A and B are shown apart, each in its own frame.
Chain A
Amino acid sequence: MLKNNLKLLLKSPHISIPLLILLLSTVGINLYAMSSYFMNSDIFAYAEKSLWLCIIGFIINFYASYEFFYQIRFSDTEETIQSYHNVKNKSDMVSLLLLAVFPFVQFVISLFFNCVLFSTSGMTNDSYMVHITLVYFLYIFLGGVTAVIFGALTARKIKRIVAYTIFALVLFLMSGISAFIFEGPSLSSSINFWQIKYFFAYLLPNNLNTIPYDDYGFPCELYRWNLSLFWVLFLLMLLIFTFRLTKKKLKIISVCLCAAAAAVNLTGYLMGGSHIEAGSGIDSIFLSDYVYYKNNKTEVKQQSADFKITKYEMLLNISRQLDAEVTMSLSDHQKGTYLFTLYHQYAVSNVTDESGNPLKYSRSGDYIDIKPDSSISKIKIKYSGYSSVFYSSSQGTALPGNFPFYPMAGYYDLKAKFGEYNHIFAPKTEYSVTVNAPQKIYSNLKETGDHTFYGKTNCPVFAGGLYEETDSDEYHICNISSEILLSEEITPEFLDDVQKKIDQLDKNSGIHLKDYYWLKMSLTFCNQAFGNNVLYSEDGIMLSSVDSPEETAKSIIEQKKIYDNAQ
């Protein structure tokens, strides 16, 4: 049956030629992308170009599937085949599998090129290959399979021009071409109409013109997998529903199984999760907080705490989002209200004392007020959520300690101005942190065991994603893997130059770069988060650019002064 269907497919030039062109394009685009990689050594720029295959594949796979099944339906052969008890359905399933081979071949070809690139690039971080494999599988293969099933389903039931109209509409919603429709209404009403677009658009990587964060990679969070699987299962369920089966029980069971699995994945998608939305949606890194603070004119407060936190014990679970349990040991125990700042997107579920007794609390914007009835020595807060800028997802983590991803004593004004966050530096204290995340986590705290960190600081930083630590006797450096290929990483030599510049500019700065933990962050993240290229804290420096040792030295000196004043 497979052989016959393959013969039919290959002998239908209006289907086989576009599929052949698709496969040739896959090779061609990968070769072109590779050539641009060899010009500038940017591995992500290569991958970004090769991901254009997703949209081409989606279109051609839908077309091929629709035309193949349409041909069977309207060749006056269908009725004959239908008389061969249940064979039509088997034949259709075989045809589907056959058509699904093409997205698979695309996936394999793209992966092959990536493997070649990876092995010749000198990159040592295997996580990159794992990440790219997952991205390609999600968008090229699953996206292509969705198109195939969609084509088969519409061919069974819908007339030609109606089917292509629906397809054009879906493409319109999926591509960035429709962004303008959702921008205006979402901004003016603050209702997130983008969710309608995302429901279709997230089948493919959106914003193909935007290079992703190099430490984060392309978006392939769990909820995107949920969405892709939902569409595959939902369309498959509808397709099975259109089958005529003599064994009705089999049909009902199949439909129910698909429906249940689709429902589970839909739930997973609706649960959402931390992600980086770099477009113009109101949940994007550019607009999310802007819209929140514009619409929720909560009072901005600034007030020091009248208590001290001597120790933080944190359990941070990172998968779809951050699920945290933070226990704070308090000194200068007092009755009265304990004031904390915790970013508004983290929803507090539970506040208890050292004995596990619930404590009264109130939440208003970024602030929590906890009102115990008696004196307490510890407060434990359970919360979960995510920030659109300081992500914490299954594929990456960026939680710098100057951002209240954990409760900070006192009230702080979080936002200085649109697009940047205030640097908040809590007093130096002890941290004992366990981080459970799918990716390896890097921190300025000392790693004491499996996923555990310990140290004293006033700015605990946790970063995860496509990083690797550089071995050096003098410096502790953590770089973004892909930037090492571009020679944009932090090197000991660079830091030596920076140190020299610092010493030249300010002999009494007291800055010894060897004392710091160095973390390279992407430029977009730093600009969005901090408004500049350097985040300085007492034991760690996050840096986004290594272009100029002099500029870096100036920034460090300036940031240190700001930091010292804040203390």
Chain B
Amino acid sequence: MLKLHNCKKIFKKKTALNGFSCEFDQGIYGLLGPNGSGKTTLMRCICGIMDTDGGNIESDENIIGYLPQNFGMFKTLTVYEMMDYFATLKNIPSKTKEEEIKRCLELVNLTEVMNVKTKGLSGGMIRRAGIAQAIMGDPNILIFDEPTTGLDPEERLRFKNLLKKIKKDKTILISTHIVSDVEAICNQLIVINQGKNIYQGSLEEIRSAAKNKVYIVSEKYEDQLEGNYFIKDRISKDNENFLYVLSNSKIKFGEPAEPGVEDGYLCLLKN
């Protein structure tokens, strides 16, 4: 269990966290928010890298597995040596260390490159190694900060499958701004904006935030759009151009569409 109550974090003139509160039980949570909304700051506070300037964070667990946004390794060490380094820092007993390293590398499919220097790894492999170090020691809380950014589709799929493998009895928090990633993995979504928790709920609940607000409108009516609206996409279909619009007010000349999670997320942000 992880509880955050009224957490605040201020950097000079910017308030990164502004009274953020939330409770996390077992499951996979997606943390959605635009750039600069406070996702990374929140995660760093949970991991203890930063102290909050207000509020408190309660956790039953001593060990948290963390994969930061910018994860790197010492270029001159091999993958195994790097894992050994992390395992030592995590106080994994010497007797079980080797076994644990191999288990984690196997889970992320890096066993073949165990003895390769980290400078010879691709971006995806480095990220996988980062996941391996996060899950070492079998922590019950896992925090992943934008784990799929920069990964190819295959790697992203691999990541999703890995999470499904390890999620049992764990609290996993994933921050991202790629909505499609969290759609596939997460049970619950939290939307953060300007340091505040503006929404927490299931995927269905997020979708419903955009109910009756999504329209497909022909491009010729673009000039006639009024009120609070947002053109999410431009689509071409049958040689005609259409706009995918989110709007608070009804659009008479538009066709209502079924909202997705991303639509719900955008509606929450724009509101």
| A–B contact via C-beta, under 8 angstroms | yes
Write the residues of chain A forming the contact surface with B, with a CB cutoff of 8 angstroms: 1, 3-4, 7-8, 11-13, 71, 75-77, 79-85, 87, 91, 244, 246
A13 CB contacts on chain B under 8 angstroms: 76
Bound CA span A87–B87, Å? 11
Q: Among A80, A87, A91, which residue has the most Cβ atoms of chain B within 10 A?
A: A80
Q: What's the minimum C-beta distance from A182 to chain B, rounded to whole angstroms?
A: 40
| Contact between B71 and A80, CB atoms less than 8 A apart | yes
Q: What's the minimum C-beta distance from A431 to chain B, rounded to whole angstroms?
A: 68
Q: Which of B47, B84, B85 contacts A83 (CB 8 A)?
A: B47
A7 CB contacts on chain B under 8 angstroms: 77, 81, 85
| Contact between B88 and A1, CB atoms less than 8 A apart | yes
Bound CA span A4–B86, Å? 9
What are the interface flags for B57-70 relative to A under an 8 Å C-beta threshold, 1 for contact and 0 otherwise?
Answer: 00000101011101
Bound CA span A7–B81, Å? 9
Q: What's the minimum C-beta distance from A4 to chain B, rounded to whole angstroms?
A: 5
A80 CB contacts on chain B under 8 angstroms: 66-68, 71, 86, 130, 133
Q: Among B84, B88, B89, which residue has the most Cβ atoms of chain A within 10 A?
A: B89
Q: Which partner residue on chain A sits nearest B76 by CB separation? A: A11
B89 CB contacts on chain A under 8 angstroms: 1, 4, 81, 84, 87, 91
| Contact between A77 and B73, CB atoms less than 8 A apart | yes
Bound CA span A81–B81, Å? 15
Q: Which partner residue on chain B sits nearest A246 by CB separation? A: B48
Q: Which of B183-202 contact A (CB under 8 A)?
A: none
Q: How many residues of B contact A (CB 8 A)?
A: 29
A-B contact pairs, 16 of them (CB 8 A): A7-B81, A8-B74, A11-B76, A11-B77, A11-B81, A12-B76, A75-B72, A76-B71, A80-B68, A80-B86, A82-B48, A82-B49, A83-B64, A83-B66, A83-B143, A84-B90
Bound CA span A75–B64, Å? 21
Write the residues of chain B forming the contact surface with A, with a CB cutoff of 8 angstroms: 44, 47-49, 51, 62, 64, 66-68, 70-77, 81, 84-86, 88-91, 130, 133, 143
Q: Which of A79, A82, A84, A91 contacts B70 (CB 8 A)?
A: A79
B48 CB contacts on chain A under 8 angstroms: 82-83, 85, 246
Given A3-B88, A79-B68, A85-B48, 20 other A-B contacts at CB below 8 A?
Answer: A4-B89, A7-B81, A8-B74, A8-B77, A11-B81, A12-B74, A12-B76, A75-B75, A76-B70, A76-B72, A77-B73, A80-B68, A80-B133, A81-B86, A82-B47, A83-B64, A84-B89, A84-B90, A87-B91, A244-B49
| Contact between A83 and B49, CB atoms less than 8 A apart | yes
Bound CA span A304–B221, Å? 120
Bound CA span A337–B88, Å? 80
Bound CA span A11–B76, Å? 6
Bound CA span A4–B70, Å? 22
| Contact between B74 and A77, CB atoms less than 8 A apart | yes
A79 CB contacts on chain B under 8 angstroms: 44, 49, 66, 68, 70-71
Q: What's the minimum C-beta distance from B51 to chain A, rounded to whole angstroms?
A: 8
Q: What's the minimum C-beta distance from A83 to chain B, rounded to whole angstroms?
A: 4
Q: What's the minimum C-beta distance from B84 to chain A, rounded to whole angstroms?
A: 7
| Contact between A75 and B73, CB atoms less than 8 A apart | yes
A71 CB contacts on chain B under 8 angstroms: 74
Bound CA span A82–B85, Å? 13
5 closest A-B pairs (Cβ-Cβ)? A76-B72, A83-B66, A83-B47, A11-B76, A79-B68
Q: Among A8, A71, A246, which residue has the most Cβ atoms of chain B within 10 A?
A: A8
A4 CB contacts on chain B under 8 angstroms: 84-85, 88-89
Bound CA span A246–B57, Å? 13
A244 CB contacts on chain B under 8 angstroms: 49, 51
Bound CA span A1–B64, Å? 20
A91 CB contacts on chain B under 8 angstroms: 89
Bound CA span A75–B130, Å? 13
Bound CA span A13–B119, Å? 14
